[in-house]
């Protein structure tokens, strides 16, 4: 039955690609450095409250850093309501020279819904030598009419 073997091979290939994509979320970008202006120091203890402002959004968040772990929660607020196709917010942990030590997506949203706020909560393992954090995001939105409008991509990288 060659068709069954082909289906099994195709399934295995898709599984390998999916697993590789999932593992990419925790890899660091050690060849890049976060500029000083985009670095945020993470103090031990907490909870600490902070605000991060970007071109498209404001993020109000609270974090606690203890025993090699960072617990961060808050809310992303877009400058105006958007019909989100997709949105991902990433925390990039950095050492004191701005080199990434770990990165992880901490919030996501989408589904072609009108959204102005995205709540989130995440727990990150903090590698030794981590000094601070930087944030980045990417997303796609459409016009506010029912199913109308061309896609509009928006993003900001920590680098």
- Residue spans of the domains in the chain: they are 2-156
Long-range Cβ contact pairs of 45-54 (< 8 A, separation 24 or more): 52/135, 54/135, 54/137, 54/156
Q: Over the stretch 2-19, which tens digit does the pLDDT of each residue have?
A: 566 565 455 444 544 444
Evaluate if residue 39 carries a pLDDT over 80: yes
* pTM assigned to the model: 0.78
Q: How confident is the model at residue 139 (pLDDT cuts 50, 70, 90)?
A: very high
Q: Over the stretch 59-107, which tens digit does the pLDDT of each residue have?
A: 999 999 999 999 999 999 999 888 899 999 999 999 999 999 999 999 9
* Cis peptide leading into residue 17 (ω within 30°): no
Residue 67 CB: number of other CB atoms within 10 A?
A: 6
Which DSSP letter does residue 156 get? E
CA 75, CA 152: separation in Å to the nearest integer?
Answer: 22
């Amino acid at each position: 039955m060659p068709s069954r073997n082909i289906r099994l091979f195709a399934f295995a290939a898709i599984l390998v690609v999916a697993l590789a994509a999932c593992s990419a979320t925790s890899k660091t970008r050690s060849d890049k450095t976060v500029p000083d202006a985009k670095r945020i120091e993470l103090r031990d203890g907490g909870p600490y409250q902070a605000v991060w402002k970007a071109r498209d959004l404001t993020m109000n968040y609270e974090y606690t850093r203890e025993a090699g772990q960072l617990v961060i929660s808050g809310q992303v607020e877009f400058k105006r309501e958007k019909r989100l196709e997709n949105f991902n917010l990433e925390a990039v942990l950095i050492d004191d020279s701005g080199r990434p030590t770990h990165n992880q997506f901490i919030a996501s949203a989408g589904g072609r819904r009108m959204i102005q706020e995205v709540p989130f909560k995440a727990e990150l393992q903090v590698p030794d030598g981590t000094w601070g954090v930087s944030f980045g995001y990417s997303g796609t939105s459409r016009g506010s009419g029912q199913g109308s409008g061309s896609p509009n991509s928006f993003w900001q990288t920590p680098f």
